[in-house]
């Protein structure tokens, strides 16, 4: 199966914020997915943020994101860039995430 932004985002749903128990995609933490063909593989770079700059789970979330993407068939190099602009707000969450957290 070819690597697409949709398949990358679907795979990242396996990465769950350990404090909120909601995946990083539904939380709106994944901002940009960039794909680059390289020989027989596709390199993946994502730009993501955290719910706060001082999030203690940040290193864990970043490593889990790299691990999940690295296990995808056809993926070569994986890069996760942590960005703080624009700052994350609850407005970025999906309806599913809002329901899980009881935010209406």
Helical (H) or strand (E) element with 11: helix 5-12
Left (φ > 0), alpha (ψ -120 to 50) or beta: where does 74 sit? left
> Residue 104 falls within a domain, yes or no?
no
pLDDT at 83: 96
99 token code pair: 């329901």
Provide the number of structural domains found in the chain.
1
Instruction: Residue 74: give the domain boundaries.
Output: 5-86
Residue 85, token pair as written in the block? 């602009």
Segments of the chain scoring below 50 in pLDDT: none
DSSP string, 25-56: TTTT-EEEEEEEEETTEEEEEEEE--SSTT-T
Give tens-digit pLDDT for 31-47. Answer: 999 999 988 999 999 99
Residue 100 lies in a domain: no
Does 93 reside within a domain? no
74 occurs within a structural domain: yes
Residue 43 lies in a domain: yes
Query: So what's the pLDDT on residue 39?
Result: 84
Q: What is the CATH number of the domain that holds 12?
A: 3.30.300.130
Answer yes or no: is 10 within a domain.
yes
| Token pair of 23 as six digits | 């995946």
So what's the pLDDT on residue 103?
A: 83
Q: Give domain status of residue 28, yes or no.
A: yes
DSSP conformational letter for 88: P
């Amino acid at each position: 199966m070819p690597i697409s932004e949709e398949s990358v985002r679907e795979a990242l749903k396996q990465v769950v914020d350990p404090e909120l128990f909601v995946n990083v995609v539904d939380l709106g933490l994944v901002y940009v997915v960039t794909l680059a063909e390289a020989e027989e593989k596709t390199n993946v770079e994502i730009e993501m943020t955290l719910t706060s700059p001082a999030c203690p789970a940040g290193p864990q979330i970043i490593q889990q994101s790299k691990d999940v993407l690295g296990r995808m068939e056809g993926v070569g190099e994986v890069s996760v860039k942590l960005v703080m602009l624009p700052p994350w707000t609850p407005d970025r969450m999906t309806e599913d995430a809002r329901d899980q957290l009881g935010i209406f």
